[in-house]
Amino acid sequence: LIDQVLKFYVKLNFELNESVLMGGFDWARVQFAENEGMAFSLSLGGSYGKLILSLFRIIMITAIIWYIRQSISALAPGGFITALALIAAGAIGNIIDSAIYGLIFTESIPGQGPAHLISAGESGYGTFLHGKVVDMLFFPITDIHLPDWLPVWGGENMLFFGAIFNIADAAITCGIM
């Protein structure tokens, strides 16, 4: 629920690529990005790739939910069930974006203001299972100085975490960890 509320807020109030500092910190931002594929903006390419990815997600969510039910019946440890539930909840959060956002929102285009919910007679930017996943959490910590002795990157400042992600992605990551 938190994931979807935050995604709706960002989609309706931010222009694509717009960034706002969190708490005044340069290393913590809400930055609106859209992801057509999977983690780290990887994709299978084309509309068929997007469809295959969306169908794969639905099959995996179904399998995980079935496995959670079996694990509960088998009295599996609560931590294990919680981890599976985090993965399933995160996957559901992202599949909601892919399944319906293209149907209910106008396209987000840099420099043209925030998207809006479509009204009667208006079309969304995509079709069922072809929506884009909304990402918004960005923590570009760049104050990490790599030691001079390190091959290739020695002496350079490193961008510690350059990925833009959402609450669903964080749930999946925590569940896997």
Q: Say if residues 36 and 50 touch (Cβ distance below 8 Å).
A: yes
pLDDT 10s digits, 44-79? 677 788 888 888 889 999 999 999 999 999 999 999
pLDDT 10s digits, 113-162? 999 999 988 999 999 998 999 999 999 887 778 889 988 888 888 787 78
**Nearest alpha-carbon partner for 129 in 58, 44, 38:** 58
Task: Report d(CA 7, CA 134) in Å as an integer.
Answer: 6
Q: What is the pLDDT of residue 152?
A: 87
Which helix (H) or strand (E) is 138 found in, with range?
Answer: strand 133-138
Residue 40 has pLDDT above 60, yes or no: no
pTM of the predicted model as reported, rounded to 2 decimal places: 0.85
Q: Say if residues 108 and 16 touch (Cβ distance below 8 Å).
A: yes
Crossing angle (nearest 10°) for helices 167-176 and 78-96? 150
Name the CA radius of gyration of the chain, rounded: 19
Query: 93 vs 5, 152, 165, 177, CA distance in Å?
Result: 11, 39, 12, 19
Q: Which residues are catalytic?
A: 135, 169
